[in-house]
Amino acid sequence: MAWAFNSALTLEELSSVIPDNSSPEDSIRIAEQFINSWFREQVVLYHANNALQEDQKEFSTQLEAYRKSLLVYAYESELVSQKLDTVVSDKLITEYYRNNQDNFQLKDYIVQAKFCILDAETPKLNKFSKLFYSKDSLDQEELEEFCIQNSARYYFEENQWLYFDDLLKEVPIEVFDRESFLKKSKTIEFEKDNQLYFLILKDYKLKDGVSPLSLEKENIRNVLLNVRKNELLNKMRNDLFNDAIKKKDIRVVPSK
């Protein structure tokens, strides 16, 4: 047992924070850390209790309001988990995207790209180059196997959009005019710090243009789910309110 001023830390409280499968050494370490933390908390609480006026220590109103908000939140969260339809069709997502184009303005440049980073001493580079630029699906499988065997860093999801800044973090190209660079460049090869860089830029979209649907799909799904959630909660609140009126559980009693 541990004491701090007029408070006690019981053995039961201490035991509750130590996992059952802990070794004796771990149990001692966890217990010492917990006791030390408890001591520090009690010291601050003691001085806070002595320093504050009684009216400054009255938290019953705030605590009750907090308890009520937690109760409502827990109830509504349970309702949402049980009744919210989380299936959002591609048709709904596409429809929302088309009707809200102004909401999907690109804040930065994006690209569709394919790149690979190899050690400069990697063997069979001619074979690699042939596979890297091939569009044959079987060659792509062989290319991935080549990269794995040679511990290469690579990204072959060329149909996915990624931010140009994220690409530059992987492929350190010096770019002074991004728009001009993207309009001119298609394939790039260079060596830096004993590393070979291979890059294909398949497509790009300029800053301030409309963001593609594939990049916004998950965001739209979350927006639509949030709309459904709010509609569900509003309906629940209205139904409960109207039911309470019908049953006369709530009413205004005229003053005498």
Q: Are 215 and 105 in contact (CB under 8 A)?
A: no
**What's residue 42's pLDDT?**
86
Question: Mean pLDDT, to the nearest integer, of 235-254?
Answer: 84
Q: What is the pLDDT of residues 71-118, one digit of tens each?
A: 999 999 999 999 999 999 999 999 999 999 889 999 899 999 999 999
pLDDT value, residue 255:
66
Read off the pLDDT of each residue in 162-191 and give the average, rounded to a whole number. 91
Q: Quickly state the pLDDT bin for 190 (edges 50, 70, 90).
A: very high
Give the model's pLDDT for residue 162: 92
Nearest to 112 by CA among 202, 16, 225, 7: 202
In percent, the amount of the chain with pLDDT more than 90 equals: 55
Percent of the chain whose pLDDT exceeds 70: 98
Query: Per CATH, which fold does 106-205 belong to?
Result: Chitinase A; domain 3 (3.10.50)
pTM of full prediction above 0.75: no
Cβ neighbours for 203, distance < 8 A, ≥ 6 positions apart:
111, 112
**Domain residues of the chain, as ranges?**
1-53, 72-104+211-231, 106-205
Listed as own residue / partner, the contacts of 99-102 with beta carbons closer than 8 Å and 24 or more positions apart are 101/210
Taking 90 as the threshold, does the pLDDT of residue 144 lie above it? yes
- Report pLDDT digits (tens) over 22-42: 888 888 898 889 888 888 888
Q: Is 217 exposed, middle or buried (0-12, 13-18, 19+ CB in 10 A)?
A: middle
pLDDT at res. 256: 64
Residue 251 has a pLDDT of 74
